């Protein structure tokens, strides 16, 4: 089920969630950034594309959008991308050269004349906003690009700061410290398993750079919006993640156990 709610006076969240086995629930967020050139940040999941469009229409007329910020091309971020491009000929997609290239291998490539390439470190004007693209400290694909909106001091971090949680709330401030820390650690060891191999010093320098952005609000594709005051807590958890336990993924025996469980509950 997809819900919408307001994260800031000019930001709406279009939010779904996925339950991942016994590990918890993961928010799957897209964001509408209102303004003189409205921008949609990511486009929901492929499997819920129709529901996403219905929910989106409750917070903005898609014809009014001017930009899509595509953080990366995973199936939980590109769901309504092509529906939106088909519906609205003025829409352009902000992504990287690699993002455009990966989409070129799908059945629906991005039209190059509707792409605006932005690399980490570059700034792009989106109406009254100035967005500085950046590479989040953790990510699951080389395409990934987040941004810092210098105008509203909004930090969008793509998959970074995601957390597997018992429940999906509408503010990260309402999550208990333990649930947030454990859920964030679990997610990063699943989504960015290379975390265990990082150079600790370089990684902590990257985290310090992010801390210095001092945002008003922190957005993640997989965490309810967090007030900027929580950024250092989120970064502290990431700082410890290289030494956290590696994720033990379910194996074939566990899959067969799950299948028996599903068959039993269906028969019941």
Chain residues binding Fe ion by CB under 5 A are: 74, 76, 140, 159, 221
- When the beta carbons of 74 and 182 are compared against Fe ion, the nearer one is 74
CB of 110 to Fe ion, least distance (A): 18
**Complex with Fe ion: residue 48 or 74, whichever CB lies closer:** 74
Of the pair 48, 140, the CB lying nearest Fe ion is at 140
Please, what's the b/e burial string for 162-186 (b: 16 or more CB within 10 A of its CB; e: otherwise)?
A: bbbbeebeeebeebeeebbbbbbbb
For 70-79, b/e burial (b = at least 16 CB within 10 A) is: bbbbbebbbb
Least distance (Å) between residue 130 CB and Fe ion: 25
Contact 78, 27 (CB under 8 A): no
Sign of CA dihedral 242, 247, 233, 43: positive
Nearer CB in complex with Fe ion: 74/149: 74
* The pairing of beta strand 3-8 with beta strand 11-20: antiparallel
Least gap, CB of 144 to Fe ion (angstroms): 7
Reduced to 3 states (helix: H, G, I; strand: E, B; else coil), residue 29 is strand
Radius of gyration in angstroms for the set of CA atoms belonging to the chain, rounded to a whole number: 18
At 13, give phi and psi (nearest 5°).
-105, 135
- Smallest gap, in angstroms, from Cβ of residue 40 to Fe ion? 15
CB of 34 to Fe ion, least distance (A): 23
Q: Which of residues 12 and 159 has its CB atom nearest to Fe ion in the complex?
A: 159
* Cβ(103)–Cβ(94) below 8 Å: no
- Residue number with the smallest Cβ distance to Fe ion: 74
Closest approach of Fe ion to the CB of residue 55, in Å: 18
Task: Assess contact for 203 and 182: CB atoms under 8 A.
Answer: no
Name the residue nearer to Fe ion (CB basis): 72 or 129: 72
């Amino acid at each position: 089920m997809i819900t919408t709610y307001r994260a800031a006076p000019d930001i709406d969240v279009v939010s779904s969630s996925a339950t991942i086995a016994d590990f918890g629930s993961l928010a799957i967020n897209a964001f509408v950034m209102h303004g003189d050139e409205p921008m949609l940040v990511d486009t929901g999941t492929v499997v819920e594309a129709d529901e996403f469009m219905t929910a989106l229409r409750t917070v903005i007329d898609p014809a009014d959008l001017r930009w899509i910020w595509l953080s990366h091309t995973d199936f939980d971020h590109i769901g309504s991308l092509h529906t939106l491009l088909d519906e609205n000929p003025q829409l352009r997609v902000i992504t990287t050269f690699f993002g455009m290239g990966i989409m070129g291998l799908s059945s629906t490539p991005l039209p190059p004349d509707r792409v605006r390439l932005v690399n980490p470190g570059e700034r792009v004007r989106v109406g009254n906003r100035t967005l500085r693209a950046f590479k989040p400290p953790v990510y699951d694909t080389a395409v990934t690009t987040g941004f810092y909106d210098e105008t509203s001091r909004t930090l969008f971090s793509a998959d970074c700061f995601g957390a597997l949680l018992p429940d999906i709330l509408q503010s990260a401030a309402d999550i208990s410290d333990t649930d947030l820390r454990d859920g964030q650690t679990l997610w990063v060891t699943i989504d960015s398993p290379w975390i265990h191999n990082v150079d600790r010093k370089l990684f902590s320098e990257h985290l310090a750079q992010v801390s210095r952005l001092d945002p008003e609000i922190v957005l993640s594709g997989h965490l309810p919006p967090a007030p900027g005051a929580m950024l250092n807590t989120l970064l502290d958890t990431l700082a410890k993640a290289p030494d956290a336990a590696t994720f033990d993924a379910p194996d074939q025996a566990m899959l067969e156990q799950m299948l028996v469980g599903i068959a039993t509950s269906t028969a019941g």
